[in-house]
Amino acid sequence: MTKTSGKVIGVNGNMVSVEVDGDVALNEVGYILVGDKRLKSEVIRIRGSQVELQVFEMTRGIGVDDQVEFSGEMLAVELGPGLLKQVYDGLQNPLPQLADQCGFFLDRGVYLNALDRETKWKFTPSAKTGDHVSRADTLGTVPEGIFQHRIMVPFNLPDEYTVKSIASEGEYTVEQTIAELEDSKGDIHKVSMMFEWPVKRAITNYEERLKPTEQLITKVRIIDTFLPVARGGTFCVPGPFGAGKTVLQQVMSRNAEVDIVIVAACGERAGEVVETLKEFPELIDPRTGKTLMERTVIICNTSSMPVAAREASVYTAVTIAEYYRQMGLNILLLADSTSRWAQAMREMSGRLEEIPGEEAFPAYLESVIASFYERAGLVRLNDGSTGSVTIGGTVSPAGGNFEEPVTQATLKVVGAFHGLSRDRANARKYPSIHPLDSWSKYEGAIDSAKTEYARSVLFRGNEVGQMMKVVGEEGTSLEDYLVYLKSEFIDAVYLQQDSFDPVDASVSKERQEYIFSILLDIITASFDLSSQKDARDYFNDLRQNFKDFNGSEWMGEDFKKLEKTIRDLIARHKTGVVHGAEKIMAEAR
């Protein structure tokens, strides 16, 4: 088949206009020939015989009449064993190998195989000759780290097939044929361990899409208790620069109860990406005792790279996540930061001279962001097992303004909002999630009536705190002052965690439920305290013991001693339950 070619007729930043002499398709890959370089690009608009390409490399040196070759294929990724532990760029080039080949500065036009062609994998067949199979059905497995990687019928084969032959148990490379499938016309299709899939097409080879109802435990108290995330759900973490978005994502990567973590650094600053690349291979995975990279894939595009590569990295990451979901695994995809992806869309939209929307972002910004988050979900696969992709994206609004278009477009489609506060970050409160501005649509492990009561104490305490800035402590009634102290107590001992403490950095669901029951006993209690000073001293004593309690080993000797001390302190001044909390405490008992 003759491939379409064309000539460059204009260059505008990372957008190149080309006059073509045949047919091309939207999202088709083209290569611009500059000297001995072939620069990869993607078709983003077609107008008759003129097409616009977004180039994934620096466009320096491209001139009018340069030749363009179109591949006839969509922008796609390689799927197969060997993806875990890899660090890729947005085009799925393995960066360590790219650095070995190019040196300190990466050359343009160098594209490497995403999957190693030399490595041999121990294949164990599960299908037999004569079996009837269709796309996404399992032909066999190979061990990949702690997982059994399913070798599946490629998703791009549309028909039902009969297995004519299947490889015996043994070691094979990803390119070797492991099965021959016969279609209804009698044609034979050779299948290897790897295949390609277009990144902008969602993988939908499952039996049923289910409603996410099971909570994803992140082991971050403020999230799991007050702002839960569902397995297969979506959440966003907007916040100003320096508020702790990247740190929070790294903690969730390490502790969340998922099988595989995929980090899409889609335009984060280079320094923070380097920090991620250095730390992940050294972080010990609590689940396996090995390094966290054993079950992690990193897609890396810093803000200094071409804008088009930011968009590619987002779609590359979510396609790999969907691929592992098809194996019945639970995936956590963290995109950091989607604001720079949106900025790349704004830049390209401007070059295309499209009618701008709010703040010059493209008018279709909301639909593009929605289509990305919609690729999350919990699904029932053809074999009856379930798999999930949970997507969490950070947003970096300028000046911490949550009213800007990217944040608002994201809030319309996600199930939970974990808004970071500059004031809380400056006060060294970690995580700096604002407990009053944030929300979640998902059900958590702790009864919502109890958590809503705790939130009401936070709201009322905040109001008293604002009033105290005007009238002072002496002008505040003892009853209001106790509400204020209770809200500060919740913030200090439950909403904040010590990420350097080996115990407090990661809190299990069981421990959260146990600790929250004690916390609830304190904030619902009425106390016999004679003055603001007595109340302040009492809560300071409680707070210090509770913080030590948080750092003690679960159900160890220190844990039990501190629990007794805290319960004795509560009993010393408790006279009953405050009005409005009677029903909650009755149900708690």
Please list, residue by residue across 88-124, b when 16 or more beta carbons sit within 10 angstroms of its beta carbon and e when fewer do: bbbbbbbbeebeeeeeeeeebeeebbbbbeeeebebe
CB 571 within 8 A of CB 579: no
Residue type, 526: S
Six token digits for residue 317: 């990451």
Pairing of strands 330-335, 229-230: unpaired
Residues placed in the known binding site: 239-246
SS (H, E, C) 285-328: CCCCCCEHHHHEEEEEECCCCCHHHHHHHHHHHHHHHHHHHCCC
Q: How far apart are CA 371 and CA 199, in angstroms?
A: 12
Chain length of the chain? 589
Instruction: Classify residue 235 by its DSSP letter.
Output: E
Residue type, 425: A
Q: How far apart are CA 223 and CA 547, in angstroms?
A: 19
454 three-state secondary structure = helix
Residue type, 570: I
Q: How far apart are CA 183 and CA 308, in angstroms?
A: 39
Main-chain phi, psi angles of 279, to 5 degrees = -80, -40
Locus of tokens 């492990």: 445
Residues placed in the known binding site for ATP: 239-246
Six token digits for residue 438: 């944030």
